[in-house]
Amino acid sequence: MKTCPQSTEQASHWQIRHAVYILKKGGVLAYPTEAVFGLGCLPDNLTAIKRLLEIKQRPAKKGLILIASDIEQLMPYLAEISPQILDKISASWPGPNTWILPAAQDTSPLIRGDFKSVAVRVSNHPIVRELCQQSQSAIISTSANISGKKMTYDAFNVRLQFKNQLDYILNGSLGTRDKPSIIKDALTDKIIRH
């Protein structure tokens, strides 16, 4: 399994602690992921999710991805998974593989959109993993760009697009992928995004 290398431009311990503080206070932040910068907040803070959607100008009906440092952080948002499906998705993690799985009944429509499923990933990016571990939570992940505009690959371009709308931009290096994660339906293996 390919892992993201530790870069010379990783976030400092203080920067990650500050980002976690922002998340826990209900903030919206930008952070590096496997291929692009992402926007995130804690999934149990519906006010923060609404604000994130407004900042990105993304319709709530489309849904959002949840990322985590381990599968246990995703379980509260998922319906019961068969052992076979669990084995299949676990074999692809941690890594740049996002799976569509049936959502738990109480998973907010702000996360799952107009679907009965939710997109989830256990990341191998060291900054993402630290954010989730220190937050003790999965976090929302969507590309850090205004809907319809170019994706962002560094903190400078995140700031250009969003000005002062974000509570924090956690700087650091991207992973080694040249495009966002693959998205597949875990029940049918249909590829949603290459």
Question: Which strands sit side by side in the sheet containing 29-32, from one edge to the other?
Answer: 168-169, 29-32, 37-40, 139-143, 65-68, 117-122, 97-102, 182-185, 191-193
- Could you state, in order of their start, the residue ranges of all structural domains in the chain? 13-193
Bridge partners of residue 141, in order along the sequence: 65
Short-list 30, 3, 26, CA closest to 153: 30
CB-based burial, 114-131: b 16+ in 10 Å, e otherwise: ebebbbbbbbbbbbbbbb
| Neighbouring residues of 54: CB distance < 8 A, sequence distance ≥ 6 | none
Cβ-contact 79, 106 below 8 angstroms: no
Higher confidence at residue 193 or residue 57? 57
Q: Quick one: pLDDT band at residue 1, thresholds 50, 70, 90?
A: very low
CATH number of 13-193: 3.90.870.10
Output the six-digit token pair for 37: 């910068």
Q: With 0.75 as the threshold, say if the pTM is over it.
A: yes
Judged against a pLDDT cut of 70, whether residue 110 lies above it is answered with yes
State the amino acid at position 14 in one-letter form: W
The rounded percent of the chain whose pLDDT value lies above 70 is 94
Short-list 12, 24, 39, 26, CA closest to 146: 39
Judged against a pLDDT cut of 70, whether residue 4 lies above it is answered with no
Bridge partners of residue 185, in order along the sequence: 100
Average pLDDT estimate for 112-134: 96
